[in-house]
Amino acid sequence: MKQLAPSILSADFSRLGESVGIIEKAGADLVHVDVMDGHFVPNISFGSAVMKSLCGRTAMPFDVHLMIEAPDMYLEEFVTDQTEYITVHQEACTHLNRTVQHIKSMGVKAGVALNPATSLSALDYMLEEIDMVLVMSVNPGFGGQKFISSAIDKIRQLDELRRKGGYDFKIEVDGGIKLENIRQVTDAGVDIAVAGSSVFGAEDVDARVREFTEILHK
């Protein structure tokens, strides 16, 4: 089954608990937590305290996307009973293998994100180690940007690498995902789709989540 991970970056922060309750009831699978430091990306979002405030308010697992420099310093902060994935950016890690081992040593699944301009070959020696590859389909930093279509080809190639190599990492896509392109990315090989503005910007958030999951869960 494919999964939907709505990004709370586009939610109303003053009503976060309520918003998460709505997406959970509607059938969302994971909460995508976008952490931005104002250095790796030109925007600041929120830190681990905001994520931890959701512990127990939802049973959904956390899918943490760290868009920060020197992520090793902050990994522990994001480990909770509900943390399923911690994803770091390849571009932010000097010792990617060490960082991935660090995440896994804490009992959390390790994801690695690739910016639109980063080649898949950056992960040549890591595919065996990682639990998820996050293909960025926008330049990270903001919600509501336009989908960069070269991501489709990248996802297809990654799926092929996975099949040929017998790897079992998941493929996640993040940025510009809408009802109009969700089938295209899942057909290319995506297992987990992140959606921010298209979920929380909808008139009826509950209905939008159901529209997405109807496609993803079948």
* Binding footprint of ligand DX5 on the chain (CB under 6 A): 7, 9-10, 32, 34, 65, 138, 140-145, 174-177, 194-198
Q: Which stretch binds Zn ion (CB under 5 A): 90-98, 120-128, 168-176, 207-215?
A: 168-176
**Interface with Zn ion includes 174 (CB under 5 A)?**
yes
Record the tokens describing residue 131, joined without a space: 């639990």
Residue closest to Zn ion when measured from CB atoms: 65
To which H or E segment does residue 64 belong?
A: strand 62-67
Query: CB of 7: closest distance to Zn ion in angstroms?
Result: 5
- Whether 132 contacts 87, CB under 8 Å: yes
DSSP for 17-44 reads HHHHHHHHHHT---EEEEEEBSSSSS-B
Query: CB of 179: closest distance to Zn ion in angstroms?
Result: 19
184 touches, from ligand DX5, Zn ion, none (C-beta below 5 to 8 Å by class)? none
Residue 78 and residue 82: Cα distance in Å, rounded? 10
Record the tokens describing residue 28, joined without a space: 């969302």
Query: CB of 10: closest distance to ligand DX5 in angstroms?
Result: 5
Q: Is 168 one of the catalytic residues? A: no
Question: Interface residues for Zn ion in 36-95 (CB under 5 A)?
Answer: 65
Q: Is 12 one of the catalytic residues? A: no
Residue 21 and residue 117: Cα distance in Å, rounded? 35
Which residues form the interface with Zn ion (CB under 5 A)?
34, 65, 174
